[in-house]
A and B are shown apart, each in its own frame.
Chain A
Amino acid sequence: MAEAMTDATAAAARVAPAGAALALDNVASGYGAVSIVKGVSLSVAPGEIVALLGKNGMGKTTLLKTILGMVALRGGGITIDGQALGTLSPAKLVALGVGYAPQEQPLFQDLSIRDNLRLAVPSDRHLPAALERLFGHFPFLKDRLAQRAGTLSGGEQKMLILGRALMLRPRLLLIDEISEGVQPSMVERLRKVLLAERDGGLSMLVVEQHVAFALGLADRYAVLKLGEIVDSGSTKAPDAQARVIDHLAV
């Protein structure tokens, strides 16, 4: 289906400026005999937020997992801060400064919030500083460390997931549908935290289905359809929202 993508779109997507925080070049991946991501080229500049939009089953999560090395790369290349990712383990990626806020089964529901956070730092030594940072973003967690993570509300869980990903001061953050099922006031809180982090120099690739949230947050967007990028551009373009909604319509 590569021919469905216009040359202009392909060229726009492939602009990978030198020193990109994340650069994907013709990335392909999938599970078993099924090909999910079919040649995606995309870049995120330092301090930039790129929104990756698309409906369910279009390959957004698989693309994130491919960047993280959780799904095998079958073609193309991925570089982070100019460093090519061959077979780096997730542990090495964390050390490189890559944070991840997953969507599916993102928390150990039966463990306490503290234990959930302990598992995200390389050793308990790092925990106090990481917690300070977390409470800076989400103070409500301070008094609830002993509580089981599964007892938090949906929105609170999302804050814990985002806070956990930010604890170790990542340089690149991959976020999977952080606004899903979250009430508007909490979405706004998430947005403010993310924008503050962006202004601090953090680069982000934000997978979303919530168009208004994604376009209000990101600098650029790309639309993924059946494993390929079918549209991309600046979120400031006057027709951006109309184009994205058009792509997401059935």
Chain B
Amino acid sequence: MLLTLDILTTAAILFIVSIGLLAIFGVLKIINFAHGAWLTVGAYCAVVTAKLGLNPWLALPLAFLVGAVLGGIAEHFIIRPLYRRPLDAILATWGLGIVVGQLVTLGLGRDVQLTPNLYAGTVAFLGVDYSAYRLVALGIALVIGTMFALAIERTRLGLSARAVIMNETLARSLGIDTGRVRLVVFMIGAGLAALAGVLLTPLTSVDPNMGVAWLIGAFMLVMVADASYLALAAACLVFGAAQVLISTFVSPILGSIAIAVLAALVLRISPKGFSRA
């Protein structure tokens, strides 16, 4: 039972961390290597909120807003001029991630920061005592996933985003402002990354480079999912399960590289990853 809960909550956290990266990859066709930086910024929003003595839950909307605004600025000034040079855009986002990490260090120091738990304690759940916060994170992942699915399937922006993913040339020729779609999706993706940063604070320490480790895992998951959010959910479950099982029964160190190794294997066997299912 404990194992099942561990797998589900691990998958939920992976999903929260990678969904923003997936949205940006699908629409802009670049891997946003600054994703880890937005995540760090979000985590520091939680730190700042705590220092100001505000309700820690306020960090969630604050982080989303800060992430979206910074993402919008980055898209406009850094990504947009490189639309036709996707490799340079990837390099630029990597550089941007380093710059943001350094700015955070300059502003708030390189020390590991502690934040109050958003939801402390344990609850008895299906016969085991389990971390209440991990269950909350599972719930939040389901909410984010559902809202994301509704936005994609039911809204006009979602339809435009799907059109850009499927055939950008046709979307443009029909008069869709693909530049606006890219900007909005980038802002939402960066906002979601910052949101994920806040949600990670009770589970991990906050430091200026915390985003990098999560970025690698999210990158692997998105490569396997190939722009389909359902495939991403499946990938999070499978790889999350592998991570938990290997960590529990073999070694936590092997568990931490399980995602990267498995993703490489999956892509070697099936280049389109999970999206064909």
Chain A residues in contact with chain B, CB under 8 A? 68, 70, 89-91, 93-95, 100, 102, 105-108, 110-111, 115, 118-120, 122-124
Contacts and interface: CB of A to CB of B under 8 A. Distances in A.
A239 B160 CA distance: 48
B175 A110 contact: no
Contacts of B160: 119
A115 B177 contact: no
A102 B156 contact: no
Given A70-B172, A90-B175, A91-B177, A108 B156 contact: no
B167 to A, nearest CB: 6
B80 interface: no
Given A91-B177, A94-B175, A95-B175, A119 B169 contact: no
Interface of B: 156, 159-160, 162-163, 166-167, 169-177
B173 A100 contact: yes
B167 A90 contact: no
A166 to B, nearest CB: 13
B173 A90 contact: yes
Residue of A91, A93, A115, A122 most packed against chain B (CB within 10 A): A91
A197 to B, nearest CB: 19
A120 B22 CA distance: 26
Nearest to B160: A119
Top 10 A-B pairs ranked by shortest CB distance? A94-B175, A91-B175, A120-B174, A91-B177, A90-B172, A119-B163, A90-B173, A108-B166, A119-B174, A90-B175
Nearest to A115: B159
B167 A105 contact: yes
Given A108-B166, A111-B163, 10 more contacts: A70-B169, A70-B172, A89-B172, A90-B174, A91-B177, A108-B167, A111-B166, A115-B159, A119-B174, A120-B174
B176 A91 contact: yes
Contacts of A89: 172, 177
B185 to A, nearest CB: 16
A106 B160 CA distance: 16
Nearest to B177: A91
Nearest to A102: B173
A124 B166 CA distance: 20
A110 B166 CA distance: 9
Contacts of B172: 70, 89-90
Nearest to A95: B175
Residue of B160, B166, B167 most packed against chain A (CB within 10 A): B167
A71 to B, nearest CB: 11
A124 B156 contact: yes
A123 B175 contact: no
7 contacts: A102-B173, A105-B169, A111-B159, A118-B156, A119-B160, A119-B176, A120-B175
Contact of B173 (A68, A122, A123, A124): A68
B183 to A, nearest CB: 14
Nearest to A124: B156
A122 B160 CA distance: 11
Residue of B156, B159, B170 most packed against chain A (CB within 10 A): B170
Contacts of B156: 118, 123-124
A223 to B, nearest CB: 25
Contacts of B175: 90-91, 93-95, 120, 122
A70 B173 contact: yes
A85 to B, nearest CB: 15
Nearest to A64: B173
Nearest to B176: A119
Contacts of B166: 108, 110-111
Contacts of B171: 119
